[in-house]
Amino acid sequence: MEQRQLGRSGLRVSRLGLGTMTWSRDTDEHEATAQLREFVDAGGTLVDTSASYAEGGAEELLGALLGDVVAREDLVLCTKAGVRRTVDGAVVDASRGALLDSLDASLRRLRTDHVDLWLVQTPDPRTCLEETVSALRAAVATGRTRYVGLSNHPGWQLARAATLLAGDPGLAAVEMEYSLLQRGIEREVLPAAAALGVGTLAWSPLGRGVLTGKYRRTVPADSRAASPHLAGFVQPYLARGASAVVEAVATAADGLERTPLEVALAWVRDRTGVASAIVGARTAAQLRGSLGAEDLVLPEELMRALDEVSAPPVSYPERF
């Protein structure tokens, strides 16, 4: 698998990343072990997790597999902080203390003394960005992470954080949702990242599973859309407006004699500025479907056709 430079940093990541959002909840230890082995055997290195996934359960499961299933040094570990669970539900907290406490807890669960990439998972309107950035700087200075970045932040916050971290330690990455069904980052985030030398990691490149075509006729009983805790995550992309894009992907797949999953994944993976597309699989069999896209290069005319059918509306001021 191709290893790509993450922005202008010295970190290199596999162009396909393994997401762990379902680990320890919908993905048990047996399936996680099989996924990790197949991913590494295929040349994958980037494994993405978060302190908020299964309330830390995903990190615990991943940490239990390090050393026995795959060597720690063979992976690029990325985790995130800034969302914590309380009795009242999820709370966004990107204050310095909360972030650094979260990172320490992540390291204990992962059974390692450092991660390779640490991200702030979402903006916190109650904490000034300067304070959040100070936690990123401290994490690098103390050796708890090698590189830092943001996730799900708008373009202006990306630019401000990169300015505050300029030179030492620098902002290495921004992780954003990006697919044929969600191209919003093309307006400001992608251009800002390119100008600032920040690498982009694309999460949910399959449109929360909708671009695989599994929902074209009905909602499968074993799918995320039928899951009590993930149905709301998928539902926005089951609206009527998404169907034209899904059908275009299915048509393209038929013409290439490939699967819709492979076409949708290859489109994101090879977009300018994308260092890695992160796929989350519930089972090893599902992961194999994503790994199957490794040899697919979409023809230019097909890329243009998919661009046109999925083009997001552009208005003031971007249209200028």
Q: Which residues are catalytic?
A: 53
pLDDT digits (tens, 9 = 90+) for 38-91: 999 999 999 999 999 999 999 999 999 999 899 999 999 999 999 987 656 789
pLDDT digits (tens, 9 = 90+) for 235-290: 778 776 788 999 999 999 999 999 999 999 999 999 999 999 999 999 999 999 99
pLDDT digits (tens, 9 = 90+) for 131-150: 999 999 999 999 999 999 99
Q: What is the mean pLDDT of residues 87-113?
A: 93
Q: Which amino acid is at 131?
A: E
Element containing residue 280 per DSSP (H, E): strand 274-280
- Tell me, rounded to whole angstroms, the distance of Cα 313 from its chain centroid: 24
pLDDT value of residue 38:
97
**Does residue 72 lie within any of the structural domains?**
yes
Structure confidence at residue 303 as a pLDDT band (50, 70, 90): very high
Two tokens at 170?
């620098």
Q: Is the pLDDT of residue 225 over 60?
A: no
**Does residue 164 lie within any of the structural domains?**
yes
When the pLDDT of each residue in the chain is averaged and rounded to a whole number, the result is: 93
What is the three-state SS of 58-97? HHHHHHHHECCCECHHHCEEEEEECEEEECCEEEECCCHH
Please count the structural domains in the chain: 1
**Does residue 304 lie within any of the structural domains?**
no
For residue 317, is the peptide bond before it cis, meaning its omega torsion is within 30 degrees of 0?
yes
**What's 175's DSSP letter?**
E
Three-state DSSP state, 204 = coil
**Does residue 292 lie within any of the structural domains?**
yes
Between strands 83-86 and 89-92, the pairing is antiparallel
Contact between residue 118 and residue 79 where contact means Cβ atoms under 8 Å apart:
yes
Element containing residue 130 per DSSP (H, E): helix 129-141
**What's 265's DSSP letter?**
H
pLDDT value of residue 184:
95
pLDDT digits (tens, 9 = 90+) for 290-299: 999 999 999 9
**CATH number, position 17:** 3.20.20.100
**Does residue 162 lie within any of the structural domains?**
yes
Domain that holds residue 99: 3-209+273-297
**Does residue 264 lie within any of the structural domains?**
no
**Does residue 241 lie within any of the structural domains?**
no
**Does residue 59 lie within any of the structural domains?**
yes
Q: Characterize 25-39 residue by residue with b for buried, 16 or more Cβ atoms within 10 angstroms of its Cβ, and e for exposed.
A: bbbeeebbbbbbebb
Query: Could you give the residue ranges of the DSSP H alpha helices within 1-41?
Result: 29-41
The model's pTM: 0.93
